[in-house]
Amino acid sequence: MNTANGFDFDYIQTSPWPIVRRPIVIAEIGINHNGSLEIARKLIDMACEAGCDFVKFQKRTIDIVYTPEQLALPRESPWGTTQREQKMGLEFGEQEYDEIDAYCRSKGIGWFASAWDIESLKFLRKYDLPYNKVASAMITHLPFLEEVAGEGRPTFVSTGMSTYEQIDQAVEIFARHQCPIVLMHSVSEYPAPVEHLNLLTINSLRERYGLPVGYSGHETVMANVVNFATLLGAVALERHITLDRTMYGTDQSASLEQAGLKKMVAYVNFLPLILGDGVKRVTEEEEKVAKKLRYWE
């Protein structure tokens, strides 16, 4: 495959019924590790066993992303009674990411992370990751986008909570820096109700920008959604994963557990296989059947 644009695909879907190819599958660990390396390793194992291509984390500099007033607010959590204690409890530092990097390498799975501030982006450079990720919340932070695009690293850009005008600004920045991107259609509700998913936006984004488009989902109904997203030509699929949806954390309930993740990857692998390439042909087995049934030939 042509990887000159930094991604493992060489096509842009333009037809409403595109030839389906297997999308990249990203298991979003995010902060579902709850500050535990043991849980993070189990989630990496889960992604590997399911056949995912990458795992993804989130990195924040707490005192940049949140104001002192926000951090001082009360919040009950396993780590204390303030927002600061809760945020710090969920955040990995250099030691943890060094171990994550080594563990992913030992398991043969790639990883990357969505930075939520420029300092976190600079922190992640140490690991020479294959991709950047712009979270939906960050798509309007133009100085941040300039920094990301300036790296030239292939980048997934989520479009949740965003108007076309806001996406226009982001696309222009990455185009100016000649930084390859994939737009990720997303609905930033946790979990997202099926009537809000609006998957045809995958087509709309592709037609408007002439860019490859993926899907980052937060719905609890899984199977049909990934099938339809793949049919619509999504080049990447991202889903949050968890060991248990009842665990502490705002993203857990919108995440896939082990059985659901395995089922999702199985669908992703199976759909292009059964759809084929659209070229009408007669198989060898059909030729044998034809000889039996077409007695006049």
Please check the confidence at residue 178 and state whether its pLDDT lies above 90: yes
**Model confidence pLDDT, tens digit, residues 161-177:** 999 999 999 999 999 99
Measured CA angle at 149 (ends 219, 179), to 5 deg: 90
SS3 string, the chain, reads CCCCCCCCCCCCCCCCCCCCCCCEEEEEEECCCCCCHHHHHHHHHHHHHHCCCEEEEEECCHHHHCCHHHHHCEEEECCEEEHHHHHHHCCCCHHHHHHHHHHHHHHCCEEEEEECCHHHHHHHHHHCCCCEEECHHHCCCHHHHHHHHHHCCCEEEECCCCCHHHHHHHHHHHHHCCCCEEEEEECCCCCCCHHHCCCCHHHHHHHHHCCCEEEEECCCCCHHHHHHHHHCCCCEEEEEECCCCCCCCCCHHHCECHHHHHHHHHHHHHHHHHHCCCCCCCCHHHHHHHHHHCCCC
Checking if the pLDDT of 242 tops 70, the result is yes
Which position has the token pair 């820096």? 177
pLDDT the model gives residue 221: 77
Confidence tier at 112 by pLDDT (50, 70, 90) = very high
Structure tokens given for 11: 């096509």
> Per-residue pLDDT tens for 22-81?
999 999 999 999 999 999 999 999 999 999 999 999 999 999 999 999 999 999 999 999
Q: Give the residue-averaged pLDDT of 217-241.
A: 89
How many residues does the structure list for the chain? Answer: 297
Q: Place 21 in a pLDDT band, splitting at 50, 70 and 90.
A: confident
pLDDT at residue 8, as a whole number = 57
Instruction: Round the average pLDDT of the chain to a whole number and report it.
Output: 92
What is the rounded average pLDDT of the residues 197-225? 91
Provide mean pLDDT across the span 265-294: 92
Task: Answer for the pair 225, 196: CB distance below 8 angstroms, yes or no.
Answer: no
The pLDDT of residue 224: 78
Read off the pLDDT band of 204 (50, 70, 90).
very high
pLDDT value at position 286?
95
Domain boundaries along the sequence of the chain: 24-293
pLDDT score of 11 more than 60 = no
The fold of the 24-293 domain, in CATH, is TIM Barrel (3.20.20)
Where residue 12 falls among pLDDT bands split at 50, 70, 90?
A: very low
Write down the pTM of the prediction: 0.92
The pLDDT of residue 226: 87
The whole-number pLDDT of residue 6 equals 61
